[in-house]
Amino acid sequence: MNFKEEPKFEKGLVVDVKNGVAKLEVEKSFECKGCHLEHFCMKGNENKTIFEMQNSLNAEKGDRISFEIKPGSRIASSFLIFIMPLLTLCLVFIVCKWLLHLSQNLNILISLISFSLSFFLLKFINSVSKRQDLLKPKMIDKLTH
């Protein structure tokens, strides 16, 4: 019995290419329906979304491309989006309560402010990861029409 997960490749249509970056229009696939992050990729009831990635295959507008989103990237993204803000909230509350001995109302206020600020930190991490291609999908192959 083999428990190793085979890589799953998504498919998309190149709709724009600029400065070595391709924008792919991706339709909701069968795997999306089972994914808990479906609503983050596919906003609302839309069946399509746009992914940006390095144009490593020199794709042109109209090309169909298979691409990969590595499981590690999915896990890291999930952690950053869901866990980091809550972790920030809890850690700041603990620091304010036990190390700084602030009042409960002030603890809650500072914790909520830090929770809100953690989303700006997420935005910064997102911009850094975009520049360094840390969490971006990777092109695998050009598909025949």
Q: What is the pLDDT of residues 37-62, one digit of tens each?
A: 666 666 656 778 888 889 999 999 99
Query: Is residue 94 in some structural domain?
Result: yes
Tally the domains of the chain: 1
Query: Is residue 4 in some structural domain?
Result: no
Query: Is residue 2 in some structural domain?
Result: no
Instruction: Find the domain containing 99 and state its range.
Output: 9-143
Is 97 in contact with 31 (CB distance < 8 Å)?
A: no
Burial 80-90 (b: 16+ CB within 10 A, else e): beeeebeebbe
Is the pLDDT confidence value at 33 over 80? no
Is the pLDDT confidence value at 131 over 90? no
